[in-house]
Structure formats: C-alpha cells, structure tokens
Structure 1
Amino acid sequence: MKKTFMGVRLKRLREEQRLTQAALAGKLGISLSYLNQLENNQRPLTVPVLLALNSVFGLDVQSFAEGDEARLISDLREALADPSLGETIAVAELRELAQSMPAVGRALVNLNRKYRHAAEQYAALSARLGEDRQATAAVLASTPFEEVRDFFYLQHNHIAELDDAAEAIAGRMELPIGRMTPGLVSYLESRHGVTVLIDASDELGSGTQRLFDGRTRTLRLSPSLDPGQQAFQLATQIAILELDEAIRSIVDKAKFTSDEARGLARIGLANYFAGALILPYAVFLNEAERCRYDIELLSHRFGVGFETICHRLSTLQRHNARGVPFFFIRVDRAGNISKRQSATDFHFSRVGGTCPLWNVYEAFANPGRILTQLARMPDERTYLWVARTVSHGSGGYGAPAKTFAVALGCDVRHAERIIYSQGLKIDPSLATPIGMGCKVCERPACPQRAFPPVGRALRIDETRSRFAPYATS
C-alpha cells in the first residue's frame, strides 16, 4: 500500500460523527497526538487505521483507495480543461484536491456536467431557431444516453440490489448453468402466467427481439435468437414484471432530468438484472477466477456470447467479493462508442472521440481474433487491453449485419490474474502510449494527433502543417 494522506477526510468524518479529536482517537484505539498528525497530513494512513475505521464506522476501505482518486483526477482534468477559465491547473494540484478534498472535487465535476448540459441545450435551441434541424436533433438525442452512462459510471457499474435479487432467484429456481432457457420459460408461466412463443410472424416486427402483450400475457421471441440470447430476453422480461418497483426506486433516487433518460435507465437496469440472472454472481466469479478470466471458455461454459461475458466481467464489484476491476467498451468502425462501462478508475473521454492507437480499432482488421495490448496513458498508468470483433445479424442472404469491436481492460497490476497476459512482456516502458482523445491528450509528439489539445497551443508552424483545413501529410 502506498503512502496515503487523508487528513481532510478524517476531519470530515469526525465532523459528521460530531466527535472531538479525543473521542475519535479513543474509538480508533490510537493516541490523540497520532490522530492530530493524521489529520494534518504529517503521517500517512496505515492499514490498521483503515481497518479500525471499517470496524467502528462501517466505512468501505475502498473509499480511501487509489483507484477512486485516479477517477476523480481524470474527471477534474476534463472538467477544468476549458481555456475560457484562464487558468492552467497542474496535475499535482488536481491530485492534491482529489486526495484532500474529494467532495469539493466531485462538486466541481458536477458543476461542469451541469454547465455542459446547459451548453448543449443552448446549442439545441440555437439550431432550432436556425436552419440546422439535424444538428438540433443530434444534440438533443445524445444527452439522455450520456446521463444514463454517467449514472452507471458513478455506480462503478455494479447495482448491488439487482445483483443480489438475481442471484437469489437463480438459486431458488436451481437453473442449470448454460441451459437456463427452459427453466425461465417455466418460471414465467408458473409465476406470472406468461406464455412464451418463438414467433416468426410479421407481428414481431423487423429487428424486434422481444414483444410482450400484457392483455394476452404472451411473450414473443424472435426465431433468430440463439439459446443464450433467448435466456437474456426472458430474464429481462422477468425484471420488468417482478422488479419494476425496485428499478423505479433506483431511477427515482438518481434524479434524472428527463423522461427519456428515466426510460433508458429502466431499460439499462432491466438488462443489468438479466445479465446477473443468467450469470449468477458467485458462480460466475468463481468460474472466472478458475479459468483466469478466459472469455471464450466462460462463453462456452455459460452459453452466452463474447460481448455478454465481457459486459458481465465489468460488473464484478460486490463488497468483499470483488473480481478484477475491468473497463468495457464497444465501438463501431466509425469510432462511435455505443457502450462504455467502468468498474474502476479508467476514464472515457466525452470530448473528441478516443485514441486511434488503441487496439480496439485494430480489431476490425482482424475479425474474430483476440488482440492484446499494453497501453500507457499520459499519467503513466499502464493497462492491459483485450479486444475482438463481434457481429450480430438476423436477416438472410444480403441482409446487413452489425459489427462492433469490444474491448476489456484493467490496470496492469492485475495482469497475472488474467490468461491474456500469458506470453506478454509486462514492462510499462514497452507499452503503447495512448490518450483519452486528442482534445484532452497532452502528448505533444503523437504521430496520430488529429487536432491540438483544448487549452494548449502548439507551434504556429506545426499547427499550419498538421491541422490546416487542406493540409497534406
């Protein structure tokens, strides 16, 4: 454990508990002078003190962890990168803020999010009053999705109440792992009076995978779904019928700003439950640890696709039973990010896309092949990434299919637990230097830079040669 100075957090805890220094020192079993040194950052927190805080106040020691600090630093860097602020804030200052006053840091990040939301609304209104209706629609359509993504990001992509409920139902039903579809069909019929049909008629509609008729209590599934996909759709319907109140309670507490965001959040939470039901937490985590997080082996074992396994691996953050903290992303060939989830501190930029040096884009040139990469961010943190393409198609000959690249990553310190580190030279100095996107990346000599970073000026000759509208390479 590195030296961690958390004096301001201790002072805040003492104020919240309405304790004097002497009273807190007594509860923790340390001397008054030692507590005074801790609160004034003259001594670092130690493991015994952290364990005492957990025992006396029930605090999760993860709240003092380096990962949360790194998340906040990344968020602050993006929030304060606006050149109109007139200040260039050093990383050392951001780190001090994140370490000593995390509540202030989170408040700044939230203010920036509200500012961005207001700016998007202003841009949308301007477009509405003008002639660019397409730009208006694009701005308005993106906001609810980003709001829901932010919600899952702030939850570390783990919704404990839904995970626990799903595991309890799976245990009660004694569903066979990897062959849950018949059991889920019987459960819907016996508990909810729902008849399940595999429907090839036009009534289901093109591209529709699940259609529920509440009047006739009939659930129709597309015949294009494989057994694992059928199980997922059945589990989603169970979430809608059985956990609607719990899901609405979670959404209400999140205080989303629009009905569309609330609707998207309910769908996302129902899908989360479905994944947790067909991949029960303890069973799935034990199997993942046993096979060293081999995604393809897990896919065969549980009868679901590569992408579903990746998504579930990014949610294994139950208190006292944590898996490797993964980040998960799905992109298309154009670089559009349709899914991004983070169980830990990796920050996905919302400004200017992602980095072309990232192996998630190389996957399109190697369809179906698993690619690995050691990647180093500008803050010198190194990550192990695994990427592969996935395709989804429901039509016949000539029908267009959807192809994405999905990637799963983690901090390099977890590499030994993962099969994909096998044969790799785990040396941070050999890692590919990547960034969060050109607008917020400060690497001056990157050969793939598309435009200057926000708030930082490049040399005039470099700007003219590389970023002029009609410049040649």
Structure 2
Amino acid sequence: MAELTDRKLYLGPKLRVLRRELGLNQTRMAEELGVSPSYLNHLERNQRPLTAQMLLRLANTYDIDIRDFTASPVEGGAHELGEILSDALVRDIGIARDEVLEVAENYPGVSEAIARFYRALADLRRLPGESLAGDRGPAPLVAPVDWLREAIARAGNHFAEIDAGAESIAASMSDDPALLQAELRARLKDRHGMAVQVVRADILAGTLRHYDMHRRRLMLSERLPASGRLFAIAYHLCAQELAEAIAAQVARASPPDEDSRRLATIALTNYAAAALVMPYDRFRQAAEHSRHDLPLLRDRFGVSTEQLAHRLTSLNRTGARGIPFFMVKMDRAGIVSKRFDGEAWPFARYGSPCPRWDAQDARTVDRVESQLIETLDGRRFVTLAMALPRNAPDARSRSVIALGCEAKHGGRIAHADGIDMDKDEATEVGPTCHLCERRACPDRALPPVTRALDLHSYERTAAPFPFRRV
C-alpha cells in the first residue's frame, strides 16, 4: 500500500463505472462509504485524488481488488475507439490520437456507446439489401453473437455463483473422467429421471446430441468422442441443477432480444458444464503445477482442446486468479469464429488478425506451436496454438485454437521454455493490415487507412503499399 501513497491517484472514470455496475446513485454510494455526495462527485470528476483511506473503504465495502482498481488503464478501449474512428465514414475528420485517448480514459461510457453503435452499423452493412425478417420481426441492431461476446467480456468470463454451484456438485464425484461420466449418468437418472444412450450416427442424422423430452432420454451420437460425451452429460445435469443461478446471471446481463437470451443461456450452461468437469480450485492448481501443459491438462480432465482453452480464460476468481489468457478460434483463412479478449488482446477487434501471426498455420492436433510476438508499441506476448480435429469426416477445413498472454507470464508456461521473453527476437505484428502503420512489413495485404499512399512510377519498394509517414 505504501507505493499508492507516493502518488496522487485520479481514478474518477473507474469509480464512476464501478458505481454504475453496482446500480448505485451518488447519494447511496456516498452513504455506504461514509463521505458526502459532493466529495464523491469531486472524486468522480477527477477534481480530487483518491486517497489510500478511500481505496481501503472501497475494497472493504465492495470486495474489489485494489491492485486491479489502481492499475494503469488498459489501452484496449483507446485501441478499439481509434479503430472505429478510422472507418471510412468519419476518417476525413482526422481525430487526433490524444483526443481518442482522452475520451477513452475519461468517458468510458461514451466509448462503449460508440462501440455499440458501430457494431450495429457493421451488422447492417453485412445485410444484402433490405432485411427479410419474415414473421420474426425486424432483425436486431446488435447481432446476438456480438452482444454475448461483449457481455462475457464485461464479466471477465467469470461467473462466481455458477462456479460455486458446479464445484459443490463436483465435490462428491470422482476426479477420473471415465468414472465421472458414469457418476453423472447415474445422477441424471436417479435425481432427474433422464437416461443417457449412445446411438448410431445415422439415427441422429448429422446431430451430435439430442434430448428427447417425451421419453426423457439424452441421445449421444457414436461419433461424439469421450470428451464430448462427458461434456454433454454435464451440460444437461447443470441445466437441471443450476438452472436458477444460470437464469439469474442471464437476467443480470439484460439481453436485448429473445435470440440473445437463448444464446446467453446456452453459453452459461456450457460454462457451468466446464466448471463441473474442471472444478475451479482443482483445475487452477493443476494448471499452475503442470505449468499450463495443454495436452497434459486436456487428458487429465478428459476434455477437448477447445473446452480446455475456454476454461483457462475463466480463472478470474478474486484472490485465486490464473494467467489472464486471451483466446481465439479461427480457420486456416484467419476468419475468427470465437474470441475472448482477456486483459490484453493484441489485435484489432474487427477483421482478421495479423497475417504474421503463425497461430493459424498450426496443423498438428497434439502439438503446441509457441510464438513470441511484439506489437507496434513494443509490448510482447507469448501465444500457444493447437489444431483442432476436423468436426466432420468430410470436412476440408480445420480450425485452430490459440491462447496468448503478456510475455511476463511466460515463465509459468511449459510451452514457452527455451524462449527468452526479453532478449529473443520476436515476430513483429500489427493490429490488422488496414490499421497497421509498420512501414517495412513484407506481408502487408492492404494499405493503412490512417496514411496516404506514397507511390512513384520510378521505383518499387520491397514492402507493398508504401505510404507517407505523416
């Protein structure tokens, strides 16, 4: 705490966001903190610094982590806002970077509103002409998948009540995945009257699992691997026993439409299933002791690579946090189908990642491909990529799961052994081609929208699309 008293902390925007997340007005928060409403107003407007005593009151009253609260603001908000304001619709205004930083740091609510409008605009741009919604009514302005991604990000991909409920179920069950599957089957049958049956693939006609509500029978395809069967059974058990906790969390997220509500319910039931198969404390300790050996963890808990990666991004319990991984699932063309930004996503939030990132080239299912990358601002990250099995026998495409974190965590990761995070040469990457201002990049596919081209008939540069520095 001593270092906090050596500098003045102006954290008004963070305090304002915290108050709004708690659903409090200034008068109520001031009463709970034992200060006057006018003093709290001065703090929120950065007219007074936040004292060490006030930080302790905040921590004790609202159970917040002081280190997280006083940490330097993550530039993710400024990066996203800058990316949005580089759109062709407003690019000619030429908004200066210091103006973008000021809005992102001091007015996070305004930044979030602009981001929501932009996502809605991006969705409308994808529509081929006028939307033909039919009997379902007008299409939502924010796609359910985008809404869900932002809702999960706001929660840090951690839902304490669901985790606690899943842990209480797992406490009386085996650690062995094969035994656990049998115990989950028995619990479904004994407590909920639901039978589990593995059936031929042709009976389910392309479906991997199906619940027959009339016969109370969960049918699993023979093509579903052991990890998929275990997860499916855990999913249906959690849907029965953690329904209230899941519904409460969905309600708190305030989904804007029915499709978003259904998607959130499915996502949080999946979260509960993962928390049941990989209970928080046991999984976090196993991850730390194995130094995040991905194949070992996958086999020990009987899960798939994708399930494992999702779980590693959710270790955000106060006082027992894991490495703050970001995660992405993409195909070999670099098209992203899933993404969790973590604390430090190094690429753009819209569009494909940098082509210099090797993650999308992973080809071997059981091999972890490690890479040290460095962004334009000099930050370093270590990334881990594994190919996923093809999702169908006749599928030609293969997806990749990639995890990453800041290089300072590299010593806790077995797959980073042999990489000197400070001295080794890192692959220089950018946010995405049309936003990257790295001049000498030979892999550039598009010119940056933030700079004018510098083309001459008498010469050709080695890097495509030469552009002016200013």
Query: Quick check: TM above 0.5?
Result: yes
Letter of the structure 1 residue corresponding to residue 372 of structure 2:
L
Equivalent residue runs for 1:328-347 within 5 Å: 328-346=327-345
Match of residue 136 from structure 1: none
Cα deviation 1:54-79 (Å, max 9, x = unaligned): 13553332552547623322322223
Cα deviation 1:213-269 (Å, max 9, x = unaligned): 111111111112232221101011123233334333333332333332222222211
The CA deviation at 1:332 is 0.8
State the alpha-carbon separation in 1 of the partners of residues 121 and 274 from structure 2: 34
Q: 2:12 aligns with which of 8, 12, 17?
A: 8
The CA deviation at 1:119 is 5.4
State the alpha-carbon separation in 1 of the partners of residues 321 and 244 from structure 2: 27
State the alpha-carbon separation in 2 of the partners of residues 190 and 391 from structure 1: 34
The CA deviation at 1:276 is 1.0
Match of residue 386 from structure 2: 388
Q: 1:409 aligns with which of 404, 409, 426?
A: 404
Contact 1:374 1:431 in 2 (8 A): yes
State the alpha-carbon separation in 2 of the partners of residues 159 and 211 from structure 1: 27
Contact 1:326 1:409 in 2 (8 A): yes
Q: 2:371 aligns with which of 362, 370, 373?
A: 373
1:117 aligns to 2:120 (yes or no): yes
Contact 1:72 1:106 in 2 (8 A): no
State the alpha-carbon separation in 2 of the partners of residues 431 and 49 from structure 1: 42
Select the structure that is richer in helix: 1
Match of residue 126 from structure 1: 129
State the alpha-carbon separation in 2 of the partners of residues 360 and 170 from structure 1: 34
Match of residue 289 from structure 1: 288
State the alpha-carbon separation in 1 of the partners of residues 14 and 443 from structure 2: 44
The CA deviation at 1:417 is 1.5
1:105 aligns to 2:108 (yes or no): yes
1:451 aligns to 2:446 (yes or no): yes
Letter of the structure 2 residue corresponding to residue 417 of structure 1:
R
Contact 1:352 1:438 in 2 (8 A): no
Equivalent residue runs for 1:301-312 within 5 Å: 301-312=300-311
Structure 1 residue runs without a partner (length 5+): 26-31, 134-138, 469-473
Cα deviation 1:102-137 (Å, max 9, x = unaligned): xx22332323322431453366373559xxx9xxxx
Equivalent residue runs for 1:213-252 within 5 Å: 213-252=212-251
Letter of the structure 1 residue corresponding to residue 115 of structure 2:
N
The CA deviation at 1:177 is 3.6
Contact 1:330 1:406 in 2 (8 A): yes
Tell me, what secondary structure is at the counterpart of 2:378? coil
State the alpha-carbon separation in 2 of the partners of residues 438 and 355 from structure 1: 7
TM-score normalised to structure 2 length:
0.82
Match of residue 198 from structure 1: 198
Q: CA RMSD in A?
A: 3.6
State the alpha-carbon separation in 1 of the partners of residues 123 and 14 from structure 2: 38
State the alpha-carbon separation in 2 of the partners of residues 169 and 435 from structure 1: 44
State the alpha-carbon separation in 2 of the partners of residues 81 and 16 from structure 1: 39
Letter of the structure 2 residue corresponding to residue 416 of structure 1:
G
Higher mean displacement: 443-452 or 183-192: 443-452
State the alpha-carbon separation in 1 of the partners of residues 165 and 116 from structure 2: 32
Considering Cα pairs closer than 8 Å and 6+ residues apart, tell me whether 1 or 2 has the greater RCO: 1
TM-score normalised to structure 1 length:
0.81
Structure 2 residue runs without a partner (length 5+): 20-24, 134-138
Contact 1:78 1:440 in 2 (8 A): yes
Letter of the structure 1 residue corresponding to residue 240 of structure 2:
L
Contact 1:69 1:98 in 2 (8 A): no
Match of residue 471 from structure 1: none
In structure 2, the CA distance between the partners of 1:45 and 1:126, relative to structure 1 (3 Å rule), is farther
Tell me, what secondary structure is at the counterpart of 2:246? helix
1:349 aligns to 2:348 (yes or no): yes
State the alpha-carbon separation in 2 of the partners of residues 288 and 191 from structure 1: 32
State the alpha-carbon separation in 2 of the partners of residues 141 and 16 from structure 1: 35
State the alpha-carbon separation in 2 of the partners of residues 177 and 8 from structure 1: 49
Tell me, what secondary structure is at the counterpart of 1:219? strand
Contact 2:373 2:380 in 1 (8 A): yes
Tell me, what secondary structure is at the counterpart of 2:81? helix
Equivalent residue runs for 1:37-52 within 5 Å: 40=47, 50-52=55-57
Contact 2:140 2:257 in 1 (8 A): no
Match of residue 441 from structure 1: 436
In structure 2, the CA distance between the partners of 1:176 and 1:421, relative to structure 1 (3 Å rule), is closer
Paired residue total: 439
In structure 2, the CA distance between the partners of 1:155 and 1:456, relative to structure 1 (3 Å rule), is farther
The CA deviation at 1:10 is 8.0
Identity of aligned residues (%): 32
State the alpha-carbon separation in 2 of the partners of residues 305 and 193 from structure 1: 28
Contact 2:325 2:403 in 1 (8 A): yes
In structure 2, the CA distance between the partners of 1:271 and 1:299, relative to structure 1 (3 Å rule), is same
Letter of the structure 2 residue corresponding to residue 389 of structure 1:
A
